[in-house]
Every structure is written in structure tokens, then in C-alpha cells.
Amino acid sequence: MGERTLRDRAAIVGVGATQYYRRGESEPQLKLELVTTALTAALEDAGLTLDDVDGFASYAGGADTGLLAQWLGIPEVRFTANLTGGGGGAAGSLGLAAAAVATGMADCVVSFTAIQQGVSRFGAAFAKGGGAGTYSAPPMNEFDFTQLSGLMAPGQMFAVLTQRHMHLYGTTRDHFAEVAITQRANAVPRETAIMRTPLTRDDYFSARMITDPLCLYDFCLECDGSVAFITVSPDRAKDLRQPPVYVMASANGGAGRWGQAITWLGMPDEYFASTGHRPVAQRAYEMAGIGPADVDVALFYDHFSPLVLMQLEDYGFCGIGESGGFVADGNIRWPNGSIPVNTHGGNLSEAYILGMTHVREAVEQLRGTAVNQVDGAEIALVTGGPASLPVSNLILHR
């Protein structure tokens, strides 16, 4: 038996996406049509066809593999998996695909997500009886112990973690503003981005507060769309259309007592004001055989700007509690910061497709085709959302 690792045993060879829509604007297309559009584009990018596909590794798209395969006449499905969780799995779905390819369970695996928020609005994910256009959470015993406080949206819950971080470490809204403004600057030149007007400090501080300490610009966008990827073995990748991007590592999971996290709020003091990513960060770095200093570009899932700060800590780019000063020094800016972050504009300013746009940006950076290209980028880190367990990540190299 060989070394038990995913490292260099799978490669991403195709990327495809729908256009990114504002919430509701992808209708009347069906959600599964968004998937097929992205999937077809990814296969075209790779130089493969639907007859080559034999695996599906999705994330929270709610897409039924059976229906997708039935629609498309996939010759034989040999692997299908969906990463569980409540926001943390985008990057990890590529890990599932790599695991399937590395173990020979399948040869050509599609990873994808799709989202249509006109139908189901994540901004009210835990609201009861919200009516049309919102997501009414299924009744659940555990939610009674948080929801009755008034908490019914992810942003409100992450605001609680953020407030604690500010209390412990002196983090300020200026630090959140640096994240929002930097990412907006990255989105401005991009045709794919929804928000293309520069954001000023005045804009940020005059925006309405949504849930203290978060204001409007600390929140991600609400979008529709789909992004898909094709993963094959390194041998197969050699003959395809694009330069392969290799999977160095992927991890999903987290500490057991991170658990339901934001819908629980009982996490231990040690990591309450964190992203829940410390265990998976450690595991991914070990698998990849690298540390944070080796990463050229970081694509951090940014549903809320303070969570970018906390990921900088949890992934070791600065010490725990030191992210505020770290970003204030310009470290996350493209192109001159020590670690350019969310060069595509992220969920805050490009589009919110459940974090799959971050994987797309990582692949483009490593192919050397990114709009905001990091010179000589060789290694990219991608994370799934800080959320309930599992959280996930992906490290890629060219």
C-alpha cells in the first residue's frame, strides 16, 4: 500500500460556469439547467465530453445525481457524493473528486454547486415561517435554543463571533473595511463581477448597520449561478486541452465541538472567535507538505468580511488575534501584499456561488490566466465557508 495521501494524485482539467446573476435573475431556468450549462462548459474547457463523465461530487447544490445523469444520458455513474454541511463544503467537493480519482472509484469526476436564491434565500436561512422567497428552516430541537433569541440569519450569528473577536483582540470595523475595500478593488476590472464600482472608506462607514458590528458592505452578495470542475488522474490530464492544476491537499471536517457552530454558539472558549478551520488547515498543510509562507494566493470564503480576518489567523498567515493589524498593513492587497487574498473580488464583490468561484479563481491563477494575476503563482489555497461542521479546504499547484 502506498502513502495515504491525495497529493498529486488528481488534477483539475476543466472549469465552467454560468454567468453570475443577481438573486432571482437566473429564472425561469431550472436550477439543474444552471448545472448543465456549467458542466458542459467545463467539459469543453477540458476537451472532454459527457461520455467521459463517470463521477459526481457536489456541494449543497441539492442536485440529484440520478436526475442529472438521466437528463444527460451519462453512460455509467461510478461515484456520487455530496459534501454535507451548511456552507463549508465548496472547496471540499474537489477533495471528494480527487479521492474518487485517486482510489480508482471513478475516472472523470464533476464537482459542482448551483444556487438560485429567488427560490431559497440564504440570508434568512434559519427563519421560521418566512413565507415565499425565504428559506424556512425545518423545525429542529436545537434551533429552539438559539432562534428564540431573535437569531435567524447566518450574518447575525457570525456577528456574535465577530463581536467576541473584537472584544478579545481589539479588532475594529476599520479592519473589516480593509477587507471589503480591497476585494472591491479586485472586482472592479472583472467582467464577471457584479459590483464594479470602487468602494470608498466613506461609502463603507456611511452604510447602514445590518447586525452590529456588521454593516451592509460586510455582507456577501445574493446571487444565482453554477460553477463546475472536471477532475481526472494526472496521467489523463497530460493529453487534455488545458495545463493541469494538481490537487496537493484537501481536508474536510473540524473539531467535534465546533459542531453546529453558529446555530449552537456553545463552542469552547479556545476557538469560539474563529472560523472552525484550524484542524483542517493543519491537516491540509501536512498533506501538501507546505506552510502558509509557500502559498502565493489565498481564496478565502468570504460570506462576511471579518471571517476573512479570522481565516488569516486560522491558516497561519498571522498569529491568532493579529489579523486586524495584518490587513491594516496592506498584506492582503493585490498585487503587492505579502499574501493577495480574493483576487477575484470574492463573495463580497464578484458573486456568491457558494464559494465555487474561489476554486475557479485558484485554477485561473495557476493557469496564469487570471484577470488580477499574481506573478508566478504556483500554489493556491482555497477554503470553504466557515460554518457548521464540516468546513473544508483545497490546496492546488500548477
**Residue 124 touches another protein, criterion: CB under 8 A:** yes
Could you check whether the bond before residue 213 is cis, i.e. omega within 30 degrees of 0? yes
| Cα distance between residue 91 and residue 229, in whole Å | 11
Give start and end residues of each alpha helix (H) in 254-345. Answer: 278-288, 305-314, 323-328
Pairing of strands 214-215, 79-83: unpaired
8 Å CB contact between 383 and 391: yes
195 Cβ contact list (under 8 Å, min separation 6)? 184, 187, 221, 345, 348, 349, 350
Pairing of strands 214-215, 109-116: unpaired
60 Cβ contact list (under 8 Å, min separation 6)? 82, 83, 85, 86, 87, 89, 90, 113, 354
Closest approach of another protein to the CB of residue 123, in Å? 6
Which triple of cell numbers denotes residue 128?
421560521
Rule CB under 8 A: choose which of 153, 232, 245, 284 binds another protein.
153
What is the identity of the amino acid at 97?
A
Number of residues that bind another protein (CB under 8 A): 45
Is 169 assigned a catalytic role?
A: no
| Cα distance between residue 12 and residue 224, in whole Å | 24
Which triple of cell numbers denotes residue 121?
434565500
Closest approach of another protein to the CB of residue 91, in Å? 27
Rule CB under 8 A: choose which of 3, 129, 191, 202 binds another protein.
129
Rule CB under 8 A: choose which of 156, 183, 323, 393 binds another protein.
156
Is 217 assigned a catalytic role?
A: no
Q: Fill in the per-residue mask, 258 to 297: x = in contact with another protein (CB under 8 A), - = not in contact.
A: -------xxxxxx-x-------------------------
Binding segment toward another protein, per CB under 8 A, in 90-98, 145-153, 223-231, 327-335: 145-153
**Residue 172 touches another protein, criterion: CB under 8 A:** no
**Residue 206 touches another protein, criterion: CB under 8 A:** no
Rule CB under 8 A: choose which of 14, 61, 85, 123 binds another protein.
123
Which triple of cell numbers denotes residue 279?
484542524
Q: Fill in the per-residue mask, 231 to 260: x = in contact with another protein (CB under 8 A), - = not in contact.
A: -------------------------xx---
CB atoms closer than 10 angstroms to residue 232: 27
Closest approach of another protein to the CB of residue 383, in Å? 23
Closest approach of another protein to the CB of residue 134, in Å? 6
Rule CB under 8 A: choose which of 37, 113, 134, 393 binds another protein.
134
Interaction site with another protein (CB under 8 A): 123-124, 127-131, 134, 139-142, 144-146, 148-153, 156-157, 159-161, 163-164, 167, 208-214, 256-257, 265-270, 272
User: Which residues are known catalytic residues?
Assistant: 301, 352
